[in-house]
Amino acid sequence: MFPVTSSADFTVERTSVIKEDTGIWSPAWDPDGESIAYVAYDESRNQQVFTIGIDGSGKMRITDNAARKWGVAWLEGGITYLSYDTDGLQKIFITQPDGTGTRKLLDEKMRQGKEDKDYPPVFGEVSENRVTGKILFTSYDENNNEKIYEINIDGTGKKQVIDDDKRQWDPDWNPDGTSFAYVSYDDSNNIQLFTANANGTGKKQITFDDVKKHDPNWGHDGILFVSFEDRFASGDKLYIINPDGTGMKPAIEDGFKQKNPRWSNDGTKVLYEDIDLAGNKQIKILYLQKPEVIQTPVVTPDVTADVSVTPGDVEQTPSGKEELPEEDAGNNLMEILFTMFLVITVIILAMMAILLISDLFTKK
């Protein structure tokens, strides 16, 4: 169907915090992995989109209105976020990293987002195909069901991707652009993770429990997602799974609650939203350690090299035993035959002696 992208090897080398603010959320990597965009409150307690370097420098506000904002994604052509339009519907907006050129991605009278407080299902941020530039997002169809759509960054070419009777939401592209992960209901009405080809075919379910899942993010080393685990008091916990559905495990063992996981494009870092017991939110970065690969040298014999054999050299057989010279082998054969002749002669003489003795006793 499509190539499986690596295994879910996930070893954290170190963790860092983007500044020490405790009221920021919805992080997104820039394509180069050196800055992030996120949502936080401004001085008037309005939600705004900001950018900042991962070292905490260069903070910049790029929006300036009072509408609530969430679902940030940083694309090659700009920064997108979800917010409320003047008609009261949630829409996808796009702006440049310097805050200029803000517009709606798609100007239509249809909801294109949901806030976290409304889930399930959470629509999630948009996802850009790194190969084709196509953007996946969630909206409603004519029957008011959540469906996954594809669109160009200029707002043209909208089309529904998966044609079935299930509700689907929260899509995220595979890094190679050939497939995507998304959330939907299984036949038992449980919320599960699925994958599908880029054209919507080849739908495959990869989780099979009854725990709610959301916010999948597909990286080079697996699919990160948030699982609402009832066995944890916090609920939202960060998990990782292989694209074929194997190897599911917690990505982070400690901490209270995690949301919005985001792989960096090069697969070396993971950005996520960390929430403590008091509800304070911080943006953290996991720097990942790749498993060490030991290279075994391969020796290729030089078949063109001249080989000289000295009289002292011993030719090796495939079994590793020394092969005897032809003359020695002939001598050994003669020794074996002579020994057999002696043994047979002794046996014959012994039998003749027994017969002679037996004959003497008979005559008496």
> Can you give the pTM of this predicted structure?
0.76
Where does the pLDDT of residue 1 fall: very low under 50, low under 70, confident under 90, or very high at 90 and above?
very low
* Mean predicted lDDT score pLDDT of the chain: 83
pLDDT at 363: 55
pLDDT at 51: 96
pLDDT at 341: 75
Query: Would you list the DSSP string of 70-128?
Result: EEEEEETTEEEEEEE-TTS-EEEEEE-TTS-S-EESS-SSS-----GGGPSSP----EE
Q: Which of 252, 294, 296 is nearest to 275 (CA)?
A: 252
Cα 133 vs. chain centroid, distance in angstroms?
Answer: 21
* pLDDT surpassing 70 at residue 86: yes
